[in-house]
Structures are given as structure tokens and as C-alpha cells.
Structure 1
Amino acid sequence: MAGRAEQAAGTQRLNNLLACVQLARGLGLIRTGRHTDAYHALRRMFDPTDPAFHESERYHALAPLVEAARNACLDDDVRPIVADMARLAVATQAPTLLVHLGYAEAVLAADEDAEPLYRAALARDLTRWPWHRARLELAYGSWLRRQRRMTESRIPLRAAHTTLELIGADTWAQQAAIELRAAGERPTTAAPALHDVLSPQELQVARLAATGLSNREIGERPYLSPRTIGSILYRMFPKLNITSRGQLAARLGRDAVTD
């Protein structure tokens, strides 16, 4: 798919598209364990002479770049990039860059410097970045385990495993499960409570949809348009780890549907 997108761009310098292609390619390679290839794919986004370079899209690639570099033993190669991005962050204060930089600096830090950096990165408001927060918790929990602080390591590892399973990031969820077992705990896969996952409006729409009502019929009750109902359902499915309306009733349970 990435290759087809590049072909569609042709010889045009569509930097934004080409940067997004490299980000998707890099994440796909990380997911399959090809960390060296992932690193070189993502590194293109940070090279001003490369067609895939983009001033702001590269912010989204910094944490995956460092993740790939760490697994490919390319720490020394990636450090100058992180230093450049740190200088840029001082000038721009771009939230996405600051979030990714927090991960990068913590992961690359020496053991004696790492913990305050992890804590500072996790202290940010990461509500908009659940996948990023989970990967940060996974990295921190793994670091704690390597320091033989087993009991402490289980707290961020549990949180990471729960979130990663919920959003379907299976490769990272498996890593969290492996780390939890190494820390002496078998992870559970119990589904979180609905009120912890869905907003009141989402829960109301889910219950109505589970009874078989159409988007138009649902919209007549909370006075929302069918388009809005469709959008709410689209956002809701990943939260519930389902892919269709037909799975709603089973996921909510009979009591939730008939309330």
C-alpha cells in the first residue's frame, strides 16, 4: 500500500503524502520486528534532502524512530536527530513534538538519568495520545523490570497491556504481556467496564444500536443527525474491540441492552 501511494505521487514533491507513507511503512516494519528497516524508513523523514522530509509530519515519527533505533542498536545514530528535535521543540513548543520528545529522551537516557525523564513524560496530559501513553508505560515498565524493581514495574506494564489490547495494538500488547510475565505476573484480558470506556452519550447510542435500530431511528431519541450517529458508532467500535453493529449486543450484555 505504501508503494502504491508513492507511485501515485509520481515525480511530484508531495512531501506531506510521502512523509505519511514513510511513517506508515516504518510502523508496519516495527510491527513485524524489522527494526533496522523501520529505522531507515523513518529516518528519511528527518533528512531535508529527502522527498519524504516534512517539517511537521516528522514530529509524529520521532518516538517510533527511537523505538526502532533502540531495538536495532542504533542509539548513537539517532541521538543527533533527537538533539536537533529538542532544540526545535524549545522554539516551537509544538505539543506533538514535545510528547514524542519526552519518550525519545527517556528511552535513550542512561540508567541513572532515565527515571525522572520517564516520570516527566508520563506527567504530561496524554489524553489525546492513548497509544503513545501505553508505549511510554511499556518502555518505563520494561526499564523498571531491568532494574529488578519487579513490583513497581507491574503497574505501568498492566496499564500498557490493558490499553494496547483495547485499541488493538496487538504487537505492543504482546510485548507488554511478555514483560509482565518476566515481572512475575500473568496478564489478564478482562474487558474494562463500559462506563470506563464510553461517554454517557456513546453508551446511550450503543444501547439503542444494539437493539437493532437504524441510525435515523436512534437519532430521533437524542435528537442527533444520522450522520452524527454514524460517526459516534465509528469512534466507538475500537473502544469496544468490535468491528460491526452485530457485535454490540454481545459486548454490552443483555442487561445493558434492555436498561
Structure 2
Amino acid sequence: MPHVTGRHFLQIPGPSPVPDRVLRAMSQQVIDHRGPEFADLGLNALAAIKSIFKTQQDVIIYPSSGTGAWEAALANVLREGDRVLMYETGHFATLWKKMAEKLGIQAEFIGGDWRSGVDPAVIEEHLRKDSGHQIKAVCVVHNETSTGSTSPIAEVRRAIDNAGHPALLMVDTISGLGSVDFRFDEWGVDVAVSGSQKGLMLPPGISFNAVSRKALDAAAQGGTRRSYWDWKEMLDITGKGYFPIPPRPTCSTVWSMRSR
């Protein structure tokens, strides 16, 4: 690469600049991903990530982009033909809706103007009309990267409860986590999707699903056919600090998370 004068500093919505101490931690030699040292690091990282989501529930780490975590969230709890309620708050809310449709999920998309976040009253109104409880999940974006608009997730949870509806609350907090307040347990979120490259200021290539017991029960009873994204297989192995696949990006990120 040609030499550029001065210190490079990335100033875009994401990926974010990676702090020097994280870069230094990543410079360490790769370790055996099946050895005891990795298990110790893995358990430490899996426990620490819960504090970032503000949860006591399970958090699953995938070697993937945030798009992969989107698919994992949908595939584990929804099957082809299921209905979901989604809300247009910007470019990424629209992309998540398009992914759902590609998976055969029927997405009811509440139109928005991209200038504000979700309106909980509109969510409640739609759910009250669904007397047969055909809608299986409400999917919203916490912070919309393309516009900067932020949605009131706690109020969305109250809207679902006020409607007396059993739908899961699924939240994309890819650019929200670590940037603005997010409280998985307190706000009653069932599935949260996030990634390493924005508010966490880690290298791209790692994504997360935080999952409630209700979401795990839904996954055990349904969902689509899945292998790489299967929560159960991940949790069976990550409970010991390991991953079911060689976690090459995860190795570096586990090192860097330890440095923090």
C-alpha cells in the first residue's frame, strides 16, 4: 500500500477504529482452539459479553457478520410461512425485512419516513388486531445506522404486553450496543442481534445473538432447518468455552476482548 502521511483514523458509521491496545492483543500468536487455554479465554469472553448486553441470559458468539446474526435470529425461532411484524426505520430495517422474505417468512412491514424510530403505539395497534396471535415476532432496529434514529425498546416491550400478545421481541442493536443504552433483561428483549465492528470497536467478523428462555423454548419447538446457526449446538459446546467450528476470527476477538 502507498504510504499515507499522518495517522489514519476511520470516521464512518462502521466499522469503527480499533483501539491500539486491542490491536496489540491481536498481535499475539494464534492458540490451539481445542486446548485448555482457549477454553479459559472463551468462558471469560462469554461471561463478559453478558455485561455488555446487561443480561443474565445466554449470549451466542458467531464468526460472521451482523447479517449472519440476523439470519440466526430468524432461523432459530421462525419457520417458513410464519408472520412477523417489522417496522421501517431506515436502510437496515428494510434489509432485515428482505432477508425474512427470502426465508419464506411473511413480513408485515409498517411504513416509516426514516426520520424517527419505532412508534410503540402503532405496534400495539397492529397487535391488538391480531386476535388469533398469528404474528410470531416483532422485529425492530434499536439504532438505525443509516439515519441515526433510535427506537424506544422498553416502550415497544410495553406495547406488546399491553396488547396481551405473546409475540417475541427481536431487536437489531448492531450499531446500538456499546453506543447507546441497551438493557436486554430489563427491557424484556427475547432476541438481540449485534456485531463487533461498531460500538464495541472490535474488528469486523464477529456477531452475537443474546437469547431469552422464551426464545430458546421457541427454537426447541420450531424454527427452520439450520446447522451453522443452530443455537442449541452452539450452546452445548460454548458452555465449555469452545465453539463447534474452528473459530478463526473468534480467536482474535477473544484475545482482544480479554485486553479490555
Q: Give TM-score, length-normalised by structure 2.
A: 0.28
Q: Which has the higher contact order (CA 8 A, sep 6+)?
A: 2
Q: Which has the higher helix share?
A: 1
| Rg larger for | 1
Q: Give TM-score, length-normalised by structure 1.
A: 0.28
Q: Which has the higher strand share?
A: 2
